[in-house]
Structure 1
């Protein structure tokens, strides 16, 4: 998968992860999209380590699930960090 396809995958995964998570998360849409790209990287790394799945195909269901799962993890961690520093 090319760089731009991976970037698009991360942007969409971040938006989906933000829609899935309940409540209000900090950060605007730009931060969510950046965290989505980081989450897609994390999801791909975790998937390759634990499940021996590669994220080489853009239209693969496993690619999307790993990217969205990674984005959810990154958004949760980001939410915990920003809530802790806001106090």
Structure 2
């Protein structure tokens, strides 16, 4: 993995993390760094699940992969809040 892929993954993870927090009701008490980390994990889980169901490369945007990644990141945000005791407001 070269530096460009690492930077791309961080940016993609940040976008996924923010979108995941937007789809959840209420306000989540987590930092921007945790949002990016959970977004990156959600994106990686989304890519993995998309590959498991037979999703492949398309000529455009893989919307289903995006939705799976956002859902995975949202679940991670909820799990993080439950584990750390930082409830949604």
Question: What TM-score do the two structures reach when normalised by structure 2?
Answer: 0.73
Measure the CA separation in 2 of the matches of 1:56 and 1:5: 18
- State the Cα distance separating 1:6 from its structure 2 match: 2.9
- State the Cα distance separating 1:40 from its structure 2 match: 0.8
Question: What TM-score do the two structures reach when normalised by structure 1?
Answer: 0.74
2:68 to 66, 73, 76: 66
- State the Cα distance separating 1:30 from its structure 2 match: 1.6
Count of residues paired in the alignment? 82
Match in the other structure for 1:14: 17
Measure the CA separation in 1 of the matches of 2:46 and 2:6: 16
Which is higher, the Rg of structure 1 or of structure 2?
2
Change (3 A) 1:60 1:4: farther
Task: Say which SS state the counterpart of residue 85 (structure 2) adopts.
Answer: helix
Which blocks of at least 5 consecutive residues in structure 2 are unaligned? Answer: none
Quote the RMSD (CA, aligned, Å): 2.5
More helix by share: 1
Measure the CA separation in 2 of the matches of 1:58 and 1:76: 30
Which blocks of at least 5 consecutive residues in structure 1 are unaligned? Answer: none
